[in-house]
Amino acid sequence: MTTTIIGYPRIGAHRELKFATQHYFKQRISAQELQDTAKKLRQANWHTIKQAGIDQIPTGDFSFFDTTLDTAFLLNIVPKRYQDLKLAPLDEYFALARGYQGEAGDVKALSMKKWFNTNYHYLVPEFDQDTQIKVRDWQLFAQFKEAKAAGINARPTLVGPYTLLHLSRFLDGKQPADFVAALVDAYAEIIGRLVDEGAEWIQLDEPALVFDQTDADRALFKQLYTAILSKKGAAKILLQTYFGDVTDSYQNLTSLAFDGLGLDFIEGKVNLDLLTAQGFPKDKVLFAGVINGKNIWRTNYDKTLALLGQLDDVADKIVLSTSTSLLHVPYTTKNETKIDPAELRYLAFAEEKLTELRELDEARHAKRETPAVLANRHLFATPRYEEDPAINAKIAALKPEDYKRLPARKERLAIQAKEFNLPILPTTTIGSFPQTAAVRKNRAEFRKGNITEEEYTAFNHKEERRWLKIQEELGLDVLVHGEFERNDMVEYFGDNLKGFRFTENGWVQSYGTRGVKPPIIWGDVVRTHPITVAESVYAQSQTDKPVKGMLTGPVTILNWSFPREDVSPKVSTEQIALALQGEVLDLEKHGIKIIQIDEPALRENLPLRKKDWNSKYLDWAVPAFRLVGAKVQPTTQIHTHMCYSEFGDIIEAIDALDSDVISFEAARADMTLLDVLHDVHFETHVGPGVYDIHSPRVPSKDEIVKIIHEILRRIPKENVWINPDCGLKTREEPETVASLRNMVDATKQVREELAHESQPTV
């Protein structure tokens, strides 16, 4: 064995799994039909990987929604409220993933969080007093057998116990330690069963090792694995890490009885130093993650071969692998017809990375310059694009005052209060409204040239007017135009800025059935024309209420694109920020008084190790955001929006963005963020999301009133906005209107309560 990968994308090169799953949700196909599609996709993957010449193929990387959920489900970590629904396993699984509202009951989904520093989301397992860990018959075993029937002795993969505990929530006063014994038994049982089925290697993913580790963390890891490895029998255990280095655990990893260690040499550059300084055990196989699993550029073979040479000096047995699962890149460049072939040569998606692994492996063993190496060297010697001197000069000339908005926020907010005269607890939404089939069709037809620009715009305007009416009737205070012209927000902005490239089929799973098509930052980014002005101005002309302008922020555009590897992320982000600054000033000039600059992905690329947070990220990301809005009038209100992450630990950086208002997901999962906002005297006015938009479930008015009470218990009422926790594009219209109605009604009720409270008592 000399080549492998950690995992492969699973949604299908043409998102077959997404469509089949959605059809299943709508009861248009049966569970069996969904299973058949899934099986076809797995078989196709195995075939591709095998054809490419990779000699060890993972299994268990397939999922109907999320692999962390799969591991939790396999271990029966399923809260009672879901078990009580008494659904068939697949439906129970989907109830955990997306909530359930139907004959069997009414439960919300588990909460969802970003997977480390990626735009993939996992479901947060919940341990509580009822948790009974046992091995259920879920996916992993059947898929191993399925691979075997296809002639592949695959390597089953699952999330390891340490990462599982690390990522989970603990309720009813339970703690990770309470579950160690049961987890050890369960993992040992899983390993035993797989070995009985014929498995040789088994991969346990422990990416949580790349976070800073405390002594207690290390002790927990050691306790878990000493016990599991003592029961592993004939199995060979690959301990797989990714997204960084294992500095704090290297000793543990090398001294425990693992058979293979999977290390990331792309994001975890320090891993090389660890190996060189401390050596690598002779009895273990090094699974060297040398091909970038998170970006789409071709690998530089000369550099990689040099790295492998250094690894060869320390490790005897090396298997070439990817730095992360290939889940984070699209399937193949073969389906891209619109990118100039001369440019396409610089890109490698999942399938092309398989070939890279094989070519590198061949070059390594040939010990001479293979044709593949020569071709690769030639590619890297050719300039890829032309620089834009003007934008680079502008960036070089930036001064500290360019990042500072005046007057200070307190003063601005007072000026804005007079300007807008909004009621207490102003209501708004995050920007998008349901992307119905008709809305998507309108965009598709325009793209294909089947309708004229006038027809395209006329449809969007009609949809905007309809939703402006709905918003007015609901009684919302600050309106939005609905984002019908946008597919994915980052794609939309990238498409309108110079310097980006787009794929036709470059889908990457974001969560469950949701895919994104990240743009590629190909060169210097420049704004050449207004992007959102016409749509915002039209919407504002149709109503007397303020309509928010709606932009995506520079950090998010960077984080949700495939970044360049030839300039720093700081420079790329500043280029984007300057482009957006032009857009903000243009909106203001055309009468848009509230402008939202979404930064849902701000937290995402926060370095996993705390010592790097400021120096390697926040120190440039926060100023880049400020640059966008720094030059507007005090009367113009800047909003921002964030979602899906834990913001508690960077709350001060968020306040330092210096926006006037922020909306985010906070109240729905738990109240901890609200407590933090209270504790730090958060200055930015804030709309913690009062209901979960990621599920079709309609929240009741009472439920929302309760949440608003919780918010008001912690945040001064003058600072609070009321809104859903994210955009509504993935929802259907009836549930959206019903939910918003309950939200507005709940707000009205609380306003009345507040009015009574503030009446002087005699």
**Residue 454 marked ligand-binding:** no
Q: CA 660, CA 415: separation in Å to the nearest integer? A: 11
Residue whose CB is less far from ligand GLN, 166 or 641: 641
Q: Does 667 bind Zn ion (CB under 5 A)?
A: no
Contact stretch for Zn ion (CB under 5 A) within 335-343, 541-549, 575-583, 721-729? 721-729
* Helix H or strand E segment including 205: strand 201-205
Q: CA 694, CA 600: separation in Å to the nearest integer? A: 15
**Residue 168 marked ligand-binding:** no
370 close to 363: Cβ distance less than 8 angstroms = yes
Site string for ligand GLN, 590-609 (x = CB under 6 A): --------x-x---------
Q: CA 705, CA 478: separation in Å to the nearest integer? A: 20
Residue whose CB is less far from ligand GLN, 336 or 665: 665
Task: Give one DSSP letter per residue of 618-639, joined into a string.
Answer: IHHHHHHHHHHHTTS-TTSEEE
Q: CA 605, CA 742: separation in Å to the nearest integer? A: 35
Q: Does 260 bind ligand GLN (CB under 6 A)?
A: no
**Residue 453 marked ligand-binding:** no
Q: DSSP character for 614? A: I
158 close to 140: Cβ distance less than 8 angstroms = yes
Choose the catalytic residue: 481, 639, 685, 694: 694
Q: Does 443 bind ligand GLN (CB under 6 A)?
A: no
Residue from the set 727, 736, 743, 744 that interacts with ligand GLN by CB under 6 A: 727
In 3D space, the residue among 575, 683, 588 whose CA is nearest the CA of residue 627 turns out to be 575
Q: Backbone dihedral region of 263: left (phi > 0), alpha (psi from -120 to 50 degrees) or beta? A: beta
563 close to 570: Cβ distance less than 8 angstroms = no
Contact stretch for Zn ion (CB under 5 A) within 232-240, 296-304, 526-534, 724-732? 724-732
Q: Does 482 bind ligand GLN (CB under 6 A)?
A: no
First to last CA, the chain: 85
Q: Does 729 bind ligand GLN (CB under 6 A)?
A: yes
Residue whose CB is less far from ligand GLN, 559 or 573: 559
Residue from the set 274, 726, 737, 740 that interacts with Zn ion by CB under 5 A: 726
Find the angle CA(433)-CA(535)-CA(507) to the nearest 5 degrees.
55
Site string for ligand GLN, 659-698 (x = CB under 6 A): ----------------------------------------
Which among Zn ion, ligand GLN, none contacts residue 42 (Cβ within 5 to 8 A by kind)?
none
Q: Does 643 bind Zn ion (CB under 5 A)?
A: yes
Residue whose CB is less far from Zn ion, 101 or 730: 730
The least CB distance from residue 690 to Zn ion, in Å, is 14
CB contact set of 125 (below 8 Å; sequence gap of 6+): 68, 69, 71, 72, 77, 110, 164, 167, 168, 169
Which among Zn ion, ligand GLN, none contacts residue 183 (Cβ within 5 to 8 A by kind)?
none
Q: CA 636, CA 629: separation in Å to the nearest integer? A: 10
In 3D space, the residue among 112, 91, 99, 102 whose CA is nearest the CA of residue 34 turns out to be 91
Q: Does 641 bind ligand GLN (CB under 6 A)?
A: yes
Q: CA 532, CA 584: separation in Å to the nearest integer? A: 9
* Helix H or strand E segment including 457: helix 453-474
Contact stretch for ligand GLN (CB under 6 A) within 121-129, 147-155, 365-373, 427-435? 427-435
Contact stretch for Zn ion (CB under 5 A) within 263-271, 607-615, 637-645, 753-761? 637-645
**Residue 529 marked ligand-binding:** no
CB atoms within 10 A of CB 445: 15
Which among Zn ion, ligand GLN, none contacts residue 311 (Cβ within 5 to 8 A by kind)?
none
The least CB distance from residue 726 to Zn ion, in Å, is 3
Report the DSSP beta bridge partners of residue 285: 260, 317
Residue whose CB is less far from Zn ion, 8 or 664: 664
The least CB distance from residue 499 to ligand GLN, in Å, is 22
Residue from the set 432, 435, 536, 637 that interacts with ligand GLN by CB under 6 A: 432
Q: CA 717, CA 572: separation in Å to the nearest integer? A: 39
- Between the CA of residue 104 and those of 88, 108, 554, what are the distances in Å? 11, 13, 44
Q: Does 490 bind Zn ion (CB under 5 A)?
A: no
The least CB distance from residue 639 to ligand GLN, in Å, is 10
**Residue 16 marked ligand-binding:** yes
Which among Zn ion, ligand GLN, none contacts residue 674 (Cβ within 5 to 8 A by kind)?
none
Contact stretch for ligand GLN (CB under 6 A) within 5-13, 33-41, 370-378, 425-433? 425-433
| Cα 148–chain centre separation | 33
CB contact set of 560 (below 8 Å; sequence gap of 6+): 119, 490, 516, 518, 601
Q: CA 287, CA 669: separation in Å to the nearest integer? A: 37
Return the residue nearest ligand GLN (CB atom): 727
The least CB distance from residue 687 to ligand GLN, in Å, is 13
Residue whose CB is less far from ligand GLN, 188 or 550: 550
126 close to 31: Cβ distance less than 8 angstroms = no
Residue whose CB is less far from Zn ion, 562 or 664: 664
**Residue 524 marked ligand-binding:** no
Contact stretch for ligand GLN (CB under 6 A) within 46-54, 291-299, 430-438, 568-576? 430-438
Which among ligand GLN, Zn ion, none contacts residue 431 (Cβ within 5 to 8 A by kind)?
ligand GLN
Residue whose CB is less far from ligand GLN, 71 or 432: 432
Residue whose CB is less far from ligand GLN, 184 or 690: 690
- Beta-strand ranges (E) seen in 57-125 are 58-59, 100-102, 105-107, 112-114, 121-123
Q: CA 595, CA 79: separation in Å to the nearest integer? A: 41
**Residue 641 marked ligand-binding:** yes
- Between the CA of residue 244 and those of 239, 329, 352, 669, what are the distances in Å? 14, 18, 23, 28
Respond yes or no: is residue 694 known to be catalytic: yes
Q: Does 726 bind ligand GLN (CB under 6 A)?
A: yes
Query: Residues within the annotated binding site?
Result: 15-18, 114, 119, 430-432, 483, 560, 598, 604, 641, 643, 665, 726
Residues interacting with ligand GLN, by CB under 6 A? 430-432, 483, 489, 550, 598, 600, 641, 643, 726-727, 729
Annotated catalytic sites, by residue? 694
Residues interacting with Zn ion, by CB under 5 A? 600, 643, 726
